[in-house]
Amino acid sequence: MRSRFFVSLSASSIALGLVLVSCAGSGDPAPASPDPTPLQDRSRKCGTADLPAAQLGAVEARVSMFSPTRAPVSVPVWFHVVNKGTGVANGDVTTAQITNQLNVLNQAYGGGTGGANTNFQFTLAGTTRTTNLDWFNAGQGSTAERQMKSALRQGGKETLNFYVNNAGGGNLLGWATFPSSYNSNQSYDGVVCLFGSLPGGGAAPYNLGDTGTHEVGHWLGLYHTFQGGCTTSNDGVSDTPAERSPAYGCPGTRNTCTGKKFPGNDPTENFMDYTDDACMWAFTPGQTSRMGSMWSAYRG
């Protein structure tokens, strides 16, 4: 089982590039109220979709031409906190939560939770805080999301832009863009996470920060462990056993793909599955290599 180390810091105890933005909204009618379903009653759901078959083939062909980066990679991170007012209940997450989210990423990607050390580490480049109801409730692919990202995004292809809002007000915990999409849509690049999924948030059992870990995995080029189901290509990683469907909760040993072609139990502990935050703790060496090759091919 993974361990967690969170800290509580005041705003003055950490150097932040802090930008405060106040926006009145577009003037359109206010979005519908967020889904009233209690967050703890929802199953994990990530909005990051599989790549279309034609695009997937081109990506795999390109990545196969690149060796994984061997040197440690330090990724600058801009956190964009988009809220509907002051206070954590309105999405205005605290500085300590942002610090703890960054710590969760560094533990997970540094092998501190028991999985492979991926050689990726994350450093805070800055934080923006924006009050805008439309952007707070921005759904995946919406005009509001595109406006939000276009206005707030910082840095280049090597910079992780981490947007924290209400994730559309439905049942999604977050979504991300793949590195292969950067050149064709640079302003859209980044990850979006539900504000309650940050460490200490209200989205239990998904409030230990691993929605961020999962979505950043997509941003670095990983697919869901269950992509492709019981196929030999699956998620493109040889040491994540094939998995017929997502795993939820804390299922323990599970084997949904059987036969000689599919050795090994389902990787329910993997950060790219759908289990509870407390029960996902690993990246594999194969995923490490894939992220390194993706970085070389698209972000290096």
DSSP codes joined into one string, 160-177? EEEEEE-GGGSS--EEE-
Distance CA 235, CA 258 (A): 17
> Closest Cα to residue 26, out of 142, 173, 159?
142
- b/e map 219-240, b = 16+ CB within 10 Å: bbbbbbbbbbebeeebbbbeeb
Does 215 participate in catalysis according to the annotation? yes
> Closest Cα to residue 271, out of 257, 294, 258, 290?
290
> Closest Cα to residue 292, out of 119, 114, 108?
119
Identify whether the C-beta of residue 43 lies closer than 8 Å to the C-beta of residue 270: no
The single residue of 60, 145, 158, 215 carrying the catalytic annotation is 215
Distance CA 257, CA 219 (A): 27
Distance CA 287, CA 1 (A): 20
- Burial (0-12, 13-18, 19+ Cβ within 10 Å), 250: middle
Other beta carbons within 10 angstroms of residue 119's beta carbon come to 19
Question: In which element (H, E) is residue 60 found?
Answer: helix 53-63
DSSP codes joined into one string, 202-238? SSTTS-SSHHHHHHHHHHTTPPPTTTTSSSSSTTS-T
Tokens for 273? 């599955």
Supply the residues annotated as catalytic.
215
